[in-house]
Amino acid sequence: MPSIKLPIKIMNPGTLGDSDILIGAAAVKRLKVPTNTPIRLLFGSFEHYVRVVPLSKASSLRLSPVLAAKTGVTSQTTLRMGYSPSSKTLRLGPVIGVLVSRDYPGNAERPFGQITAFCKEMTDAGRKQGAYVYFITPQGIEQGVSSIQGWAYDKGWRTSEFPVADVYYNRLTSRKLENRPSVQHFMQEVKNRYRSHFFNEKYLDKTEVFDALKQDSRLLRYLPESHQHRGLATLKSMLAKYPVVFLKPIKGSLGKGIIRITRMPGGAYLSQTTQEFGIRKQTYESLSALHNALSGKMKQTRFQIQQGLHLIEIGKRPVDFRALVQKNLQGQWAVTSVVARIAGSQHFVSNLARGGSLSTVKEALERCSLSGAVKLKAGARLNKAALEIAQGMDDRSSAHFGELGIDLAMDQTGRIWLLEVNSKPSKNDNTPLTDNNKIRPSVRRLLDYSAYLAGY
């Protein structure tokens, strides 16, 4: 649908009828909007019949205070406007709702804690691109779609009631919150009743990812052997094939609880478990002794067992890569960024939460021992792998994703491997904003994909 971007202006009380809107004559002509006759106005799920009055030389869309209050827009808002002649509908938007884990109403400056800066950046990006962005929590949608309580930013954070959005972006960072009946009901209702789009609608677990991607023969070259751990037989089989295996919590994140098991000379086994301030090492004389020591953890947590890889290193610290892959304005996967992650001195995982550090891909490759020919093509090969894996998840998963954090590794021969796919890549204040508070490409792309879904 063709659209144009217009700033919103709220008129003084009594100067404009509650069902009248003023639009510049040039915009009316360009979009072929009928004037002085009732047409339907849509803003998310908000619907109202209005009369468009053209105004020469005007560059804004002007509303009465009553109509503005019903929609929730303010004079700080810039929106895209499109007209559908077949349905005689004037659409304002897109309206984008972001579902976050929690809010702190008593903290006006940081109502979303460490992700407040990201939320403000989303708002600023929306204003520049002509989209309206609001934020909701599981508590704000407990009453269902008839009463959505949330936050928007207009010179400061404010709470309000909002219409159902055209598009929802799920930023819940807790499986427990995501699985609440009220949240699941809300997701289904906005999709089924209002035809809203809901992306990144679920967490991924490790078994689900690898089982899905194994079905695509083109992706097998990226997949280390990986199974759900089912006991001593699984452990014995994998350690017979590989000198090192990893046990990873299926629903884990941030490198928590990962166990590295190494087959030692003479039949002993070394286990190394990630902990907050380093790794815990223990040696076992036999495989059965190792299994018995781990059995308590296995009863509490499901684990994925995975082939160990001999990764490239910098100063004897393993290196891997995080690719952020997002859908763009055409609805296609694109690589937004790739960074190298170097494990901390007391860890074998590279997560920042476990002491890891970031580097550019180029700098990391220059410091490792790969051959020059491999280094030359490595960046392009990482991008290609990330895109193919993202498309594989689209093809093999029933869930809708608009962005994925894809963790890749490169072994000492230059082969690329998949480590993990994350549907909730970090957005907190530890992710630096660009200079002068410019909008990051990753945030612009979220708005682009939302506009694509909403038909703008």
Q: Per-residue DSSP letters for 1-32?
A: --EEEEEEEEPPTTSS-TTEEEEEHHHHHHHT
pLDDT at res. 434: 46
Tokens of 373: 């020919």
Q: Pick the range with the lowest mean pLDDT from 113-117, 348-352, 416-420.
A: 348-352
Q: Which two tokens stand for residue 280?
A: 């815990």
Q: Give the model's pLDDT for residue 382.
A: 96
Rounded distance, CA 78 to CA 92, Å? Answer: 10
- DSSP-derived pairing of the beta strands 61-63 and 38-43: unpaired
Distance separating alpha carbons of residues 52 and 32, to the nearest angstrom: 11
Q: What is the pLDDT of residue 348?
A: 55
Q: What is the pLDDT of residues 215-250, one digit of tens each?
A: 999 999 999 999 999 889 999 999 999 999 999 988
With 80 as the cut, is the pLDDT of residue 200 above it? yes
Q: Over 70: is that where the pLDDT of 13 sits?
A: yes
Q: If pLDDT is split at 50, 70 and 90, which confidence band does 436 have?
A: low
| Proportion of the chain above pLDDT 90, given as a percent | 73
Comparing CA positions, the residue from 273, 277, 343, 352 lying closest to residue 311 is 343
Distance, in Å, from the CA atom of 118 to the CA atom of 120, rounded to the nearest integer, reads 5
| pLDDT at residue 198 is higher than 50 | yes
Residue 107 has pLDDT above 50, yes or no: yes
pLDDT value at position 352? 52
Distance CA 219, CA 215 (A): 8
Report d(CA 90, CA 67) in Å as an integer.
14
Does the pLDDT value for residue 252 go beyond 50?
A: yes
Q: Is the pTM of this model over 0.75?
A: yes
pLDDT for res 433: 44
Mean pLDDT of 149-163: 94
Whole-number pLDDT of residue 349: 58
Residue 31 token pair: 């979009």
Sorting pLDDT into bands at 50, 70 and 90, what band is 299? Answer: confident
Q: What is the mean pLDDT of the chain?
A: 91
Half-sphere exposure of 216 (CA within 13 A, CB side): 19
Q: For residues 112-124, give the mean pLDDT.
A: 95
pLDDT number for residue 437: 62
